[in-house]
Amino acid sequence: MNPSENKKKLDELLSRAVGRKPLKFDTDIWQKKYAQEIREYQVRTAYGAGTLPIHKRTTTMKSLIIKFAVAAGIIIAALVGIGLFDNWFGGGNIAFADVLNNFQNRNYSFELALTIVEGDKQHEDSVSQVIVKEPGKMRLDNATPGLGKISSITDFNTGKTLLLFHQNKSAVMMENSVLNINSGAEGVVSLCTRPVSALWNMKDGTEKTLGVKEIDGQKAAGFQVSGEDEYFQYEMTIWAEVANSTPCFVEVVATPKKETQTQIKWTMRKFEMDVPCDESQFSLQPPAGYTLAYQKKLEEMPSKGTSSSTAKKIEESLTLWADGKKDQAVQTLLSIDWSQPIKFNKKPYIFTMTEQGYISLKPEDQKAVMEEVMQSSGTVREIAKYLIAQGKAAVAAQANDKAEQYYLSGSYLGELIAKDPERIIIARLVGIAVQKITLNELVTLYTQTNNQEKLQAAQKQLQTVATMAAEIKSKASGR
């Protein structure tokens, strides 16, 4: 089973356990209609990730990678040391009291692994590096194919968590405490908050001593606590070196009551005590150059001034096409002088919305923008296909100059959408696709007419477009 299958299995498991129906996006209709654009834009796995597909970012906080980051943070909270451990085992267990003291009063790091257990098979899905800074601060770093490196920074004293998506330099601030049962993280709340809360409130004498065994060449003493809630049964096991009471292995296992053959397991290992901690590693302020997501409304986006006359013609062409006036739309497009300045105000978003601008929008406005971008994308592709059909008809009629005009108009339109490296990626990919198909027709035309100068120029443009597409897809896939 590969990582993406594990993620799917985990999400299904969470859904069944808490009685939640699988998430469905309200963009299903255009997903089918624009399957090619979406295939080109899809990145690998799941907000995972390169980046999540843009049209799915409105559900980023419910995606599996966010669930994992929050879940890990909640479980780690049980180890951060906020004055609640004494309720677990009682003060009479001196050895364990020493272990808890190490958790509560020292900086330390460890490796955190998420594993799905199915019968006698275990599928390790993700491994993260975690640093805990006394008192009560934690940083989790995870590298995921397709999403790139993601950091989760939590201050359990304030209950705030900052999520950093390094690949596209975006940040998400979770203002509500991850320990709040009403924080809205579906599934994670039931999976983690309740059992950890139950562990914190267990009374003296509920612990089980596991004795001593060898772990990584060292004698270690073990302790275990069990609990349950409406959906899950839990076990947390802690092993610590006998010589110095420092932790060496911690495991948390959650078994859904509705599916006892499958378990979710978090394993904490490779502990290092007294690791150096820089305060900047735990800052809840996004680093310079990062965009804080879900902060702005569309009306708050800065205006770019009055649209140029050329931009107005392009917009008019798209509107005419959408109204079914295809010939008028194409004639308007053919009349454009593409050497003139082209500047749009705010719309159409396919020409103006940047990747970082999109990220900064509130979810409902992201949805509105994406719906318009996808509608405009479909219009642009239909126009490009129509231009090619007209161009081929012109070639058949030996009107090569007219055919060239049709092809060039499509190429210029695609280039306008694709060339800005800051533009929303889904739009750039549409522009690249339009450039490719029209430039290929120009190459064929110039080959047939033996126009070597224009042929070489068109071939060079095609190479530039191919390089651009490869760079976008490489970034999106995290490679």
Per-residue pLDDT of the chain (479 residues; tens, 9 = 90+): 454 554 455 455 444 444 444 434 344 554 555 455 444 444 332 333 333 333 333 333 334 444 444 455 444 444 443 333 333 333 334 356 676 666 667 788 888 888 888 777 777 667 888 888 876 788 888 887 666 788 888 887 777 888 888 888 888 887 754 434 333 333 333 333 333 333 333 333 556 788 889 888 888 988 887 777 677 787 888 888 888 888 889 888 888 887 667 788 888 889 999 999 888 899 999 999 899 888 899 988 887 788 999 999 999 999 999 999 999 999 999 999 999 999 998 889 999 999 889 989 998 999 999 999 999 999 999 999 999 999 999 999 999 999 999 999 999 999 999 999 999 989 999 999 999 999 999 999 999 999 999 999 999 999 999 999 998 877 765 55
**Side chain identity, residue 384:** A
- Angle between the N-to-C axes of helices 363-396 and 425-448, in degrees from 0 to 180, rounded to the nearest 10: 10
| Amino acid sitting at position 230 | E
In three-state secondary structure terms, 85 is: coil
Read off φ and ψ for residue 164, nearest 5 degrees: -115, 125
Nearest to 345 by CA among 313, 309, 306: 306
Cα 387 → chain centroid: 36
Distances, alpha carbon 257 to alpha carbons 193, 224, 330, 442, in Å: 17, 20, 62, 63
Q: Torsion angle of alpha carbons 80, 81, 82, 88, nearest 10°? A: 120
Report pLDDT digits (tens) over 205-244.
Answer: 556 788 889 888 888 988 887 777 677 787 888 888 888 8
- At 176 the pLDDT is 56
CA–CA distance, 435 with 411 (Å, rounded to integer) = 5
Q: Kind and range of the H or E element at 45?
A: none
At the topology level of CATH, where does 3-282 sit? outer membrane lipoprotein receptor (LolB), chain A (2.50.20)
pLDDT for the residue 18: 41
Alpha helices in 84-136 (DSSP H): 86-89, 94-105
CA gap 455, 461 in Å, rounded: 10
Question: 391 Cβ partners below 8 Å, 6+ apart?
Answer: 402, 403, 404, 406, 407, 441, 445
Contact call for residues 429 and 470 (beta carbons, < 8 A)? no
For the chain, the structural domain boundaries read 3-282, 296-477
pTM value is 0.64
If one counts every other C-beta atom within 10 angstroms of the C-beta of residue 398, the result is 8
Q: How far apart are CA 439 and CA 31, in angstroms?
A: 27
Strand-pair partners of 272: 109
Distances (CA, A) of 229 to 12, 198, 317, 348: 19, 8, 60, 51
Q: What is the pLDDT of residue 104?
A: 66
Query: In the structure encoding, which two tokens stand for residue 80, read together?
Result: 């951060």
Quote the pLDDT of residue 410.
96
Instruction: Assign 73 to helix, strand or coil.
Output: helix
Q: How many CA atoms lie within 13 A of 25 on its CB side?
A: 21
Cross-strand partners of 226:
235
- Report residue 78 as tokens: 């049980």
Q: How many alpha carbons lie under 13 Å from residue 311 in its C-beta half-sphere?
A: 18
> In angstroms, rounded to a whole number, what is the distance separating the alpha carbons of residues 263 and 232?
10
The answer to whether 461 touches 439, Cβ cutoff 8 Å, is: yes
CB 187 within 8 A of CB 210: no
Give me the pLDDT at residue 478, please: 53
DSSP string for residues in 1-22: --HHHHHHHHHHHHHHHHTPPP
Tokens of residue 397, six digits: 């009629």
For residue range 271-325, list pLDDT tens digits in order. Answer: 999 999 888 899 999 999 899 888 899 988 887 788 999 999 999 999 999 999 9
